[in-house]
Amino acid sequence: MSPVQERLVTLLLVGVCLIAGGATTYARLAPRPAPVARETPDLVVTVHGEIVAPGTYELPWGSRVGDLLAAAGGVTPDADVALVAEAAPLTDGRTVVVPSTRSPEGDGRIDVNRASARLLGTLPGVGPATAERIIAGRPYHRLDDLLRVPGIGPVRLEALRARVTL
């Protein structure tokens, strides 16, 4: 190689080293983006039944059923608060029904569209798991719609007909 070519190669290598060193230094010294503080979203929940101000409320994340009842002005004198799990955490989009101590028809039948799992569990042949499946399948427009619930067949439905309402 001629001396001119050696100088060019040397200059080229020095240039590459300078560029690589500069890029490394810039990457270390470049400002890092500030961490973004994530705001926790609010929950939007609905409450109806034996409540002073039924409706839809926006509550902070982590709120419980008791917080919702307080935001709605509390329960009415006819509310059956023993059937409301006030310590239960709320989830976005949830509907909470505060049942009445009085049956809508006054005949002691349980409304399958409004009753709590605990109240549904008092029905013959309905345990906690079936009660949760009944709640998950709401709303029901006819009593025969209960046949969609796993664990409720024609025989069990006939046993329930006299004890439930819509």
pLDDT tens track for 83-100: 888 988 998 988 888 888
The residue with greater pLDDT, 62 or 101, is 62
Gyration radius (Cα) of the chain, Å:
33
Least confident of 6-10, 25-29, 105-109, 113-117: 105-109
pLDDT grade, residue 37 (50/70/90)?
A: low
pTM of model > 0.85: no
Least confident of 17-21, 48-52, 54-58, 67-71: 17-21
The residue with greater pLDDT, 114 or 63, is 63
Q: Is the pLDDT of residue 141 over 70?
A: yes
Cis? peptide before 104, omega within 30° of 0: no
Pairing of strands 43-49, 55-59: antiparallel
pLDDT grade, residue 60 (50/70/90)?
A: very high
Q: Which CATH architecture is the domain 103-166 placed in?
A: Orthogonal Bundle (1.10)
Cβ(127)–Cβ(121) under 8 Å?
Answer: yes
Least confident of 59-63, 81-85, 154-158: 81-85
d(CA 131, CA 66): 22
d(CA 48, CA 13): 77
Sign of CA dihedral 73, 76, 79, 81: positive
d(CA 147, CA 156): 9
Read off φ and ψ for residue 164, nearest 5 degrees.
-125, 160
